[in-house]
């Protein structure tokens, strides 16, 4: 990124403490009020029943694998977002992750600010609204970001991960490793669904040097949820995103062919998977990097744990040559992943990949 510079901690205290007092005031502060066209149109708990829910049971068996490839391929083509169950990550680990993360956000503000994003460098750490400095209108959330993989980066950052709650660091490292295995299997399934060798995408993103970022979003209850968003509409810039949410609801995806927003139903024990820009580009737009956002509500705080699987910054990305032909010519030019990030932060369009269209 030329990382978007970072707001000094003192100015970021304001939105976090404002949100904390939300129950005491009835009007949304202007700093959070979105323009009319950006406001939510579908309720946080008006769930869409059509988003695919796919079981990964038997993913290691030859007879189930083709079913999983077919179902995920279809979900990638039609939705760009789906849920998975029977994925092998224990409910105990998912619960401990939620508890530790909530434990962190429940700490006094002064304690959380010890982990504030530092100016310069990659934006990791605690912030409210977003990590950007050029936001006129803020999102109604607190956030915490960690770089978890590759291992060399985890080692560098480990000592800036929170020390409270006590189990936070250990649980995050365990979660990061388990999600990475899941991501490897899913990238294998997606590769196969595109007619590519199983390890194609994993190799394309740098193999064991691929990058993983884990973000926690904490959305406090909000006095006027209809006027703002917890997280503005965007696409994720990596390969796939693995999201664990609590039972409150608020994640919405834009179903482009039907021109409507749909709310993803929280399912206990499930992960939501959404495709990012790199898969749209690699698949030459057969699959879509789905636009999505988070809405908030006036009754409950909501928590989501979001793992971004990203290429290594030196990976060469672009449409997979193996799927291109005379009738399917490349729609995007190729690039080094690190050159993609400045495009994303330039803010010119929500659809960053448009900048690469041939």
Q: Which residues bind Ni ion (CB under 5 A)?
A: 236
Q: Is 101 in the site for ligand OGA (CB under 6 A)?
A: no
CA distance 190 to 279: 9
What minimum distance in Å lies between the beta carbon of 278 and Ni ion?
A: 13
CA distance 59 to 134: 44
Q: Is 304 in the site for ligand OGA (CB under 6 A)?
A: yes
Q: β-strands 240-245, 271-275: how paired? A: antiparallel
CA distance 259 to 238: 24
Kindly give, in sequence order, each residue whose CB lies less than 8 Å from that of residue 330, ignoring residues fewer than 6 positions away. Answer: 284, 318, 319, 324, 358
Restricted to residues 216-245, the positions that interact with ligand OGA (CB under 6 A) are 217, 231, 236, 245
Q: Rounded to whole angstroms, what are the CA distances from 259 to 34, 41, 130, 311, 352?
A: 20, 12, 27, 30, 20
Give 100 or 235: the residue with its C-beta nearer to ligand OGA.
235
What minimum distance in Å lies between the beta carbon of 308 and Ni ion?
A: 8
Contact partner, 294, from ligand OGA, Ni ion, none, Cβ < 5-8 Å per class: ligand OGA
Q: Is 132 in the site for ligand OGA (CB under 6 A)?
A: no
Give 93 or 215: the residue with its C-beta nearer to ligand OGA.
215
What minimum distance in Å lies between the beta carbon of 10 and ligand OGA?
A: 25
CA distance 192 to 185: 11
CA distance 174 to 248: 25
What minimum distance in Å lies between the beta carbon of 45 and ligand OGA?
A: 13
Contact partner, 304, from Ni ion, ligand OGA, none, Cβ < 5-8 Å per class: ligand OGA
Name which of 315, 279, 330, 339 is nearest 72 in CA terms.
279
Give 192 or 236: the residue with its C-beta nearer to Ni ion.
236
What minimum distance in Å lies between the beta carbon of 233 and Ni ion?
A: 9
CA distance 204 to 317: 7
Looking at 251, 253, 275, 296, which residue binds ligand OGA (CB under 6 A)?
Answer: 251
Name which of 210, 193, 215 is nearest 294 in CA terms.
215
Q: Is 306 in the site for ligand OGA (CB under 6 A)?
A: yes
What minimum distance in Å lies between the beta carbon of 178 and ligand OGA?
A: 19
Contact track, ligand OGA, 253-292, x by CB under 6 A: ---------------------------------------x
Q: What is the DSSP letter of 116?
A: B
Cβ proximity of 352 and 340 under 8 Å: yes
Q: Is 128 in the site for ligand OGA (CB under 6 A)?
A: no
Looking at 75, 190, 204, 294, which residue binds ligand OGA (CB under 6 A)?
Answer: 294
Residue ranges binding ligand OGA (CB under 6 A): 215, 217, 231, 236, 245, 250-251, 292, 294, 304, 306
């Amino acid at each position: 990124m030329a990382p978007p510079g970072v707001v000094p901690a003192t100015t970021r205290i304001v939105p976090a403490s404002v949100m904390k007092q939300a129950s005491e005031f009835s009007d949304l502060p202007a700093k959070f009020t979105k323009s009319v066209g950006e406001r939510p149109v579908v309720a946080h708990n008006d769930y869409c029943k059509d988003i695919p829910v796919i079981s990964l049971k038997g993913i290691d068996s030859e007879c189930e694998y083709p079913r999983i490839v077919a179902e995920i391929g279809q979900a990638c083509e039609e939705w760009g977002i789906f849920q998975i169950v029977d994925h092998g990550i224990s409910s105990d680990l998912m619960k401990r992750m939620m508890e530790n993360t909530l434990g962190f956000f429940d700490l006094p503000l002064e304690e959380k600010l010890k982990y504030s994003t530092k100016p310069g460098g990659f934006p990791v750490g605690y912030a409210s609204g977003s990590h950007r400095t050029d936001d006129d209108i803020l999102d109604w959330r607190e956030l915490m970001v960690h770089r978890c993989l590759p291992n060399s980066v985890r080692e560098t950052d480990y000592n800036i991960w929170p020390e409270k709650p006590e189990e936070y660091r250990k649980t995050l490292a365990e979660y990061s490793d388990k999600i990475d295995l899941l991501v490897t299997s899913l990238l294998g399934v997606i590769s196969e669904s595109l007619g590519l060798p199983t390890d194609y995408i994993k190799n394309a993103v740098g193999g064991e040097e691929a990058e993983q970022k884990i973000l926690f979003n904490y959305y406090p209850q909000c006095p006027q949820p209809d006027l703002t968003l917890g997280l503005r509409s965007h696409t994720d810039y990596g390969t796939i995103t693995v999201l664990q949410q609590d039972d409150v609801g608020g994640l919405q995806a834009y179903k482009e062919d039907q021109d409507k927003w749909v709310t993803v139903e929280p399912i206990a024990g499930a992960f939501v998977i959404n495709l990012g820009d790199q898969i749209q580009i690699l698949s030459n737009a057969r699959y879509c990097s789905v636009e999505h956002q988070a809405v908030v509500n006036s009754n409950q705080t909501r928590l989501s744990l979001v793992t971004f699987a990203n290429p290594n910054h030196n990976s060469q990305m672009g449409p997979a040559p193996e799927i291109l032909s005379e009738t399917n010519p490349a729609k995007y030019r190729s690039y080094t992943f690190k050159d993609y990030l400045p495009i994303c932060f330039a803010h010119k369009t929500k659809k960053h990949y448009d900048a690469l269209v041939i």
